[in-house]
């Protein structure tokens, strides 16, 4: 992927990454072991930023170290070795090095794995086609502990995801377990991102600006840093400072719909640099494919605050995205704004 002249990686001048504000007030840091004011902190952070970091989260440091070092060893292999577990059109899990965000190539390589394998998904984006498929993880032979490190990590982060979901539910004034049922057969996945040093960090991005489309994202970034969040209000890009052993939490588009816009998912991107490689590991906490996503009845009012979105099926949403990713269709990817009800 290190082809300097390849303009497929170049963003339009106005989207190039140089003007991040690093000295600004950072996204909130929340101590999950604190008893008092926890819900208020989560509510304020979710409303103001859509992003926060958590400490005392219950995920063991050792499991995080294990997956981080297994990832380092995996990506250090030759392209040919990594290509043995490459994703294809039939199964998007595994290794991939040519992802695009909004038609510009990302300066990264990734490894995706389903938290529950097999992951069940619709075969097609067509709403009338009820056929389902099972997606199985692809495990590399090297390093030998890769699979175990990923699976052990996934179990603990999944527990954190449910804990955060319950806190978010309470922070919206809903019962603690109100949203749990949507995640009974959850279609969560883990994406390990590797961003190699980039000779043109002013023109390329590790991941272009996007919003996460699922429920919640729980991200571990290493000490290099590069994640930036678009601040609500003025749209300035704010650097998320790496905090050792903390997790970055952001609300995905589904929470925006469930909460009928009380909470909003926020744009973010990853910048790269010319000196140091960077790793991040995202846990994308997604509902089951059969879940129909719609504003929660408890949070709407037909007269004063009607639903802002029409219901949509999560599995079909994912299948529609997958189709446009592979076909490189010249249309914008499906977004929740496609389901927005005009006010
Ligand atoms: O690497 C990062 O800091 C962000 C990655 C990201 O936003 C994503 O994978 O959705
Ligand atoms: Fe993201």
Averaged confidence pLDDT in the chain:
93
- To the nearest 10°, the Cα dihedral for 79, 4, 198, 202? -150
Q: What is the pLDDT of residues 293-321, one digit of tens each?
A: 999 999 999 999 999 999 999 999 999 99
Q: Could you check whether the bond before residue 118 is cis, i.e. omega within 30 degrees of 0?
A: yes
Q: What is the pLDDT of residues 101-126, one digit of tens each?
A: 888 899 999 999 999 999 999 999 99
Reading the block at residue 224, the tokens are 């290099």
Is it the case that residue 5 has pLDDT exceeding 60? no
- Nearest-angstrom CA–CA distance, 150 and 342: 43
The pLDDT value recorded for residue 234 is: 93
Is it the case that residue 24 has pLDDT exceeding 70? no
* 109 in contact with ligand 1, CB cutoff 6 A: no
**Residue 211 Cα, ligand 2 centroid: separation in angstroms?**
6
Q: Which residue has the tokens 């929740």?
A: 336
Residue 20's pLDDT band (cuts 50, 70, 90): low
Residue nearest to atom 10 of ligand 1 (CA): 212
Residue nearest to atom 9 of ligand 1 (CA): 282
Atom of ligand 1 nearest to the CA of 193: 1
* 269 in contact with ligand 1, CB cutoff 6 A: no
Reading the block at residue 66, the tokens are 């294990």
DSSP string, 244-304: TT-EEEEE-HHHHHHTTTSS----EEE---SS--EEEEEEEE---TTPEE---GGG-BTTT
Q: What is the mean pLDDT of residues 71-95?
A: 96
> Relative to the alpha carbon of 265, which ligand is closest?
2
Q: What is the pLDDT of residues 270-281, one digit of tens each?
A: 999 999 999 999
> Relative to the alpha carbon of 240, which ligand is closest?
1
Mutate to test the pocket of ligand 1, among 68, 107, 207 (most ligand atoms within 8 A of CB): 207
pTM for the model stands at 0.94
Identify the CA nearest to 180 among candidates 167, 196, 199: 167
- Nearest-angstrom CA–CA distance, 219 and 253: 16
Q: What is the pLDDT of residues 221-264, one digit of tens each?
A: 999 999 999 999 999 999 999 999 999 999 999 999 999 999 99
């Amino acid at each position: 992927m290190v082809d300097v002249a390849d303009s497929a990686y170049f963003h339009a001048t106005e989207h190039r990454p140089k003007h991040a504000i690093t000295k600004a007030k950072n996204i909130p840091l929340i101590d999950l072991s604190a008893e008092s004011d926890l819900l208020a902190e989560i509510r304020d952070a979710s409303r103001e930023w859509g992003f926060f970091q958590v400490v005392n989260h219950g995920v063991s440091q050792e499991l995080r170290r294990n997956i981080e070092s297994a990832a380092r060893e995996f990506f250090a292999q030759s392209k040919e070795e990594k290509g043995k577990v490459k994703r294809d059109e039939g199964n998007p899990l595994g290794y991939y090095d040519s992802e695009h965000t909004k038609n510009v190539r990302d300066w990264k390589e990734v490894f995706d794995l389903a938290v529950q394998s097999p992951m069940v998904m619709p075969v097609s984006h067509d709403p009338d086609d009820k056929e389902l498929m099972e997606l199985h993880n692809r495990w590399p032979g090297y390093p030998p502990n890769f699979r175990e490190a990923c699976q052990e990590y996934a179990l603990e982060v999944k527990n954190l995801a449910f804990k955060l979901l319950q806190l978010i539910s309470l922070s919206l004034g809903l019962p603690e377990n109100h949203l749990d049922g949507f995640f009974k057969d959850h279609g969560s996945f883990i994406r390990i991102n590797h961003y190699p040093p980039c000779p043109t960090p002013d023109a390329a991005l590790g991941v272009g600006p996007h919003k996460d489309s699922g429920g919640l994202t729980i991200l571990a970034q290493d000490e290099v840093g590069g994640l930036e969040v678009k601040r609500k209000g003025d749209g300035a890009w704010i650097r998320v400072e790496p905090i050792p052993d903390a997790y970055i939490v952001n609300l995905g588009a589904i929470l925006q719909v469930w909460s009928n816009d009380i909470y909003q998912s926020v744009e973010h991107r990853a910048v790269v640099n010319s000196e140091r490689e960077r790793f991040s590991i995202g846990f994308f906490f997604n509902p089951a494919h059969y879940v129909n996503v719609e504003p929660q009845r408890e949070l709407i009012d037909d007269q004063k605050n009607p639903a802002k979105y029409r219901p949509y099926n999560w599995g079909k949403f994912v299948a529609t995205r997958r189709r446009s990713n592979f076909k490189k269709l010249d249309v914008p990817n499906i977004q929740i704004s496609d389901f927005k009800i005009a006010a």
